[in-house]
Structure 1
Amino acid sequence: MAPDAYAAYGAYFGACATVAGTLIGLLFVAVSVSPHKDVGRNAPLSFQIEAATAITTLTNTLVISLVALMPGEDLGGAAVILAGIGISSTIGMAVISLRNWPGHRHLWALVIIPALGILYALQLANGINLLLRPDSRNSVQSQALLVLIFFPIAVARAWNMIGARGTRLSTLVGELVQERQTTAADTATVGPPVADTPSGDSAAPDPTGRSEPAP
């Protein structure tokens, strides 16, 4: 490791390691208080993806930050390994989503999964560059930027895991569209309202099947 390339980021990576470790602990607390008591294979698809996203990104930031603080270690090698794990996890989430897609149409999964794949691909390319040029200040800065990007992603996924409502415009619009689709489906199931029986001289049929003589 080249000290000149990492000296300016020592305090930054130290703070990131502290924050990542704390958030990982809070993540386990969030899982324990989650409204979904079943956190295994029978958990909702959205919960599985959110949990996988949060733990993968936080673990990535924690390990990268700790390795960057260790003198004499190779950050490029750690970045390549973690990027490979992240890509593998992203592929797994994509497979789970496609397998359960007919019954779980979560539009946000179409965004978060490819976005994570792109971020891990960038980390892999950056890690390879660090292996070739360990003293590259730009590559170290790129790793620091990726760590910064992973934090809000993990926090947002943990926020959804505990059942909190999102306040983003896309979330509100998605909820509105889902409510309208549910209302339309309920209306189609119930069918048109039945017309009231007009009042007249004809008497209602006797439930016993016997006809009453006319007066």
Structure 2
Amino acid sequence: MNAQIAEYHDFFLAGAGVAGALIGLLFVALSVSQERIKSRDGVLHRVRAAAALTAFTNIVVICLLGLIPGQDLGAVSAAVGSAGIFFLVGAGLSLRRARWSWALVRDLGFLLALAAVFTLQIVTGYHLDNGSHRAENLQRTGTLVVICGLLGIARVWELMGAPP
């Protein structure tokens, strides 16, 4: 394992565990709010749930693969960020069916914030592959993982009907 990546072993281990727990809690939250998902505004709730799952899955994949000795974290980061961008395109297309509301505007803003995180993740992954400023880019990757977690928690909070 690269010495610089080895310094992040405990971070990746904790990140994978936390994200796994959050994914489990997301499924519990979805199971108790099925009426909201099937309601007239259900598309917003489905997109919120999918956004949270995407953010948490991003964390799990980066953290688990970061634990594998010899793993190319740059390629992983870029691939997972690209998958996130594809999700965002699909989510944006799904939101076309939603009726206009401030909640929709808020959800679009959230998707744009997530797009910024995924874009930075792709760029950071590219720089990790090139070996330029490796320590700085590993730190940036860790920061983006934390931001994904916070964004995912915010989505689950709104999914449960709590005030934004």
- Greater shift, 151-160 or 127-136, is seen at 127-136
The whole-number CA distance in structure 2 between the counterparts of 1:7 and 1:59 is 22
What is the TM-score normalised by the length of structure 2? 0.90
Q: What is the aligned partner in structure 2 of residue 65 from structure 1? A: 63
RMSD of Structure 2 on Structure 1 (CA): 2.0
Matched residue, 2:16: 17
Q: How many residues align?
A: 162
CA deviation after TM superposition for structure 1 residue 35, in Å: 4.7
SS of equivalent to 1:125: helix
SS in 2 for 1:73: coil
- Measure, in 1, the Cα distance between the counterparts of 2:9 and 2:3: 11
Q: Secondary structure at the match of 1:117?
A: helix
CA distance in 2, matches of 1:19, 1:156: 15
- CA contact under 8 A between 1:36 and 1:43: conserved in structure 2? no
- Aligned residue number for residue 100 of structure 1: 97
Q: Classify the secondary structure of the residue corresponding to 1:67.
A: helix
Runs of 4+ that moved beyond 4 A:
37-40
- Given that 2:37 and 2:46 are in contact with CA atoms closer than 8 Å, whether structure 1 keeps it comes out as no
* 1:156 partner amino acid: A
Cα distance in 1, alignment partners of residues 124 and 59 from structure 2:
15
The higher relative CO (CA closer than 8 Å, separation ≥ 6) is in 2
Structure 2 residue identity aligned to 1:104 = W
Q: For the residues of structure 2 that align with 1:44 and 1:153, how far apart are their CA atoms?
A: 20
Report the TM-score, using the length of structure 1 for normalisation. 0.69
Q: Encode CA deviations 1:22-77: one digit per residue, 9 max, x unaligned.
A: 1111111111011526559x761220221111000000001100111111111111
Distance 1:134 1:56 in 2: 28
Where does 1:7-46 land on structure 2 (aligned, <5 Å)?
7-36=6-35, 38=37, 44-46=42-44
Secondary structure of the 2:148 match is helix
Q: Where do 5+ consecutive residues of structure 1 fail to align?
A: 172-215
Higher Rg: 1
Question: Equivalents in 1 of 2:74, 2:67: separation in Å?
Answer: 13
Distance in 1 (alpha carbons) for counterparts of 2:60 and 2:38: 24
SS of the residue corresponding to residue 108 of structure 1 reads: helix
Asked if 2 retains the 8 angstrom alpha-carbon contact of 1:130 and 1:139, the reply is: yes
